Structure 1
Amino acid sequence: MSRIGKKPVELPSGVTASVSGQVVEVKGPKGVQTFTATDDVSITVEDSAVKVAPRGKSKRARQQWGMSRTVVANLVHGVQNTFKKELEIHGVGYRAAVQGKTLKLNLGYSHDVDFAIPEGISIVCAKPTEVVIEGHDKQQVGEVAAKIRDWRRPEPYKGKGIRYKGEFIFRKEGKKK
């Protein structure tokens, strides 16, 4: 049995959820978000809580059970608060700046990298070496952070590159004579 899936998702005051077929719609003070679940799970709203249950004993149904419950919990959190990812830029001359709806990155290439900020995401650069990504959709925030990080992943010898705040980079020893 899924320990995560068994727990119902509590709906705080100001947040409502409705289910039509396999589509869950969550409304809150920050907006509306939807999720379409697979046919392997059934979703119901009872007593200001959303309950997810598997429709069979198959392995796929049990996998979708916990995953669907977690996605619904993220929707409930997202319509009430924002999700946030913080990136740090390490390296001589590496920096970032927001200009309008574009994130400009200087990462040691012969050209600047222009990253178009998607709808629903806000990016703030308080310092040239720090990037804060915020949004109401957890999946989208994580995806944007991963795309920015992919432009220059941290390397193991000097640790230069873009990393998540608090991420540990295993350092290697260089060549010896």
Structure 2
Amino acid sequence: MSRIGLNPISIPSGVEVTVDDKNLVKVKGAKGELSEQITPGMDIKIEDGVLTIARPTENKRHRSLHGLSRTLIYNMIEGVTKGYEKRLEIEGTGYRAQKQGKKLILGLGYSHPLELEDPQGIEVEVPAANKIIVKGINKQQVGNYAAVIRGYRPPEPYKGKGVKYEGEQIRRKVGKTGK
């Protein structure tokens, strides 16, 4: 029994949700518009500003997709109303970030600076030389782009240098000791 899939989703005012006969869900709100193809067979109903999802059978595939379908739709509604953001911190001597138009320029200890073009629908802010904020309405794209930035120099365990998520705990290791 899916505990997540059974929860109804209340649609806030100002958000328009439409579902076609092939389960293509479109959500339009103040921040933009998103669409997602939900597994055919899932029964999606909108009544009195409340969206519910029911699964057609009790087989394992439908049970596993029930909660996923509900979460995808909920994330779309949340994205067009509030949006999502990931915060990154840069630690290390000489490591820094700066914004130049639509480009994010990272100095991460390589022989050259890394220049990353902002993807479509993603906005990147650099409030300080060691802080990066990735914003957008699509939760998956925001998380993916933040992971791409972090992947260029993940934090290392000896000195903690690198790009990490805000609040992420780095497991530190003890270095070599002399005799």
Both structures adopt the same fold (TM-score exceeding 0.5)? yes
- Alignment match, 2:97: 96
SS in 2 for 1:105: strand
- Alignment match, 2:76: 75
- The C-alpha deviation readout for 1:50-109, integer Å capped at 9, x for no partner, is 111112112121111101101101111111111010000000000000111110000000
Distance 1:42 1:156 in 2: 48
- Alignment match, 2:160: 159
The one-letter amino acid of 2:165's match is Y
Shift of 1:4: 0.7
Distance 1:107 1:78 in 2: 31
Distance 2:64 2:36 in 1: 17
Alignment map for 1:1-177 (pairs within 5 Å): 1-20=1-20, 21-177=22-178
Q: Is the 8 A contact 1:40 1:60 kept in 2?
A: no
SS in 1 for 2:45: strand
Instruction: Could you list the structure 1 runs, at least 4 aligned residues long, displaced by more than 6 angstroms after superposition.
Output: none
Q: Which moved more, 1:144-153 or 1:24-33?
A: 24-33
SS in 1 for 2:148: helix
Distance 1:116 1:61 in 2: 39
The one-letter amino acid of 2:69's match is S
Distance 2:41 2:160 in 1: 44
Among the aligned pairs, what percent are the same residue?
Answer: 46
Q: Is the 8 A contact 1:40 1:64 kept in 2?
A: no
User: How many residues get paired?
Assistant: 177
Q: CA RMSD in A?
A: 1.0
The one-letter amino acid of 2:67's match is G
- The C-alpha deviation readout for 1:15-37, integer Å capped at 9, x for no partner, is 12111021011111222111101
Q: Is the 8 A contact 1:94 1:106 kept in 2?
A: yes
Q: Is the 8 A contact 1:123 1:132 kept in 2?
A: yes
The one-letter amino acid of 2:125's match is V
